[in-house]
Amino acid sequence: MNRKPLIIAAIAGAVILVILFVFFGVGRKPAAPAPVTLEFWGFGDDDTVWTPVIDAFHAHNPGITVHYKRFVDTLYEDTLVNRLAAGTGPDVFLMKSTWLGRQRDKVAVLPPASSPLSPAQFRDTFVDGTTPLIAPDGSLAGVPLSMDSLALFYNKDVFDAAGIANPPATWDDFASVSRRLTTIASNGDILRSGAAIGAAKNVSYALEAISALIFQRKNTIVGPDGHLNLDDDKAGQAIAFYASFADRASPNFSWTGRMPESLDAFAQGTAAMAFGQSADVQRVVLKNPHLNFGVAPFPQLAGGAARTFGTYTFPAVSRVSAHPSEAWRWALYITSRDGASRYLQAAGRPPARRDLVATMPEGGISGAFSRQALIARDWIMPDESAVRRIFGDAIDGIASGAYSPLAALARIVGQLQLLLP
């Protein structure tokens, strides 16, 4: 038998295998993915907050390095927008929900086919106020990390001295308590304000408080389609009630434009009640470490919808990121139960995840903010600065006597319509 053809065939096969091995890597392990470095921008939180979260993520994703950069709150949004426009921005950046209306085009959405969360799973996992992150087609603009909300700060010593055992839970009680605690001099000056509310220029969160009063009257301000949905009667009632605390002719009178900024007045003891968010607790403590104060849920309207104003923060993936898959992996991790728990514990912020809300105490300062996440809502503002100016000018116009509440509302509606579709 002639073995020569078999030998030639064997040699040819060996040569082919060598060629495949050398040129195509047959038999070799797949090459490890190239390491990726993500730029992550935020505000408010320093490195000590984010380092443990980044380390935990890196332990499970050794090929991805995250570099965090913190910016001053007041400069952050403008810097972010300018750098993204220049193509030199971060891969992932923290956003406030109130920016979503004007910055949505900067975000790389996560399509339904790539998302681990269906719209139903998203709603089961996160509080209802964050659902604007879900687009009509089911894609996600982001996943919420924390939900801060407006709550009532009250001076316990002043309450105790007046024989008031508990903070007010309804607006009727709020107005009654404010009247009891307001002290007015014979010349009309306010010696102690029962409630730092009524104006805009020297009241923190005036826009948020008025928005919450409107929400409680079952009005959304802006509808799901982005068009104005402001009921004249309901919004008029909310604005008139808010403004009554700066009206000298009203029995609710407790505030003027000459008073200090509302939370400063509260810290000084010249206002018995004021409104603030969780970040303001430390602000008050730093201004007056000896102030004996508590934080209670935002007052509610009897017979109305249970609502307060809440702003959520979420990591957004940049549309110009060179590593969108890795960037989304980081964003999804920090909003997972493990990642969010690490962050929220270090930062001291209220959760946006329902399972984490359920673990929080019902009482105390942390409990007030955490439980309120379930009823917190905001609205998509076309331009937050412009909206604040519109509401502020109208409310201060009522306080100065330039407008009636209905005239002020008409100005708000007219100017908002110019900003909205």
In words, the CATH class of domain 36-148+310-377 is alpha beta
Alpha-carbon distances, residue 100 vs 76, 314, 381, 394 (angstroms): 15, 10, 8, 24
pLDDT tens, residue by residue, 270-323: 999 999 999 899 999 999 999 999 999 999 999 999 999 999 999 999 999 999
d(C-alpha 263, C-alpha 281), whole Å: 10
Question: Which residue has better confidence, 226 or 342?
Answer: 342
Q: Where in the chain is the domain with CATH 3.40.190.10?
A: 36-148+310-377, 150-308+381-419
Helix (H) or strand (E) holding 274: strand 273-276
One-letter amino acid of 338 = D
Tokens matching residue 140: 């996600």
**Mean model confidence pLDDT for the chain:** 91
d(C-alpha 332, C-alpha 327), whole Å: 9
Strands 36-43 and 92-96: what pairing? parallel
Q: CA dihedral in degrees (400, 221, 133, 386; nearest 10)? A: -30
Q: What is the pLDDT of residue 224?
A: 80
Tokens matching residue 360: 């929080």
Indicate whether 6 pLDDT > 80. no
Indicate whether 15 pLDDT > 90. no
Q: What is the pLDDT of residue 31?
A: 53
Strands 64-71 and 228-229: what pairing? unpaired
Number of residues written out for the chain: 421
The answer as to CATH 3.40.190.10 being correct for domain 150-308+381-419 is yes
pLDDT tens, residue by residue, 373-400: 999 999 989 899 999 999 999 999 999 9
3-state secondary structure of 14: helix
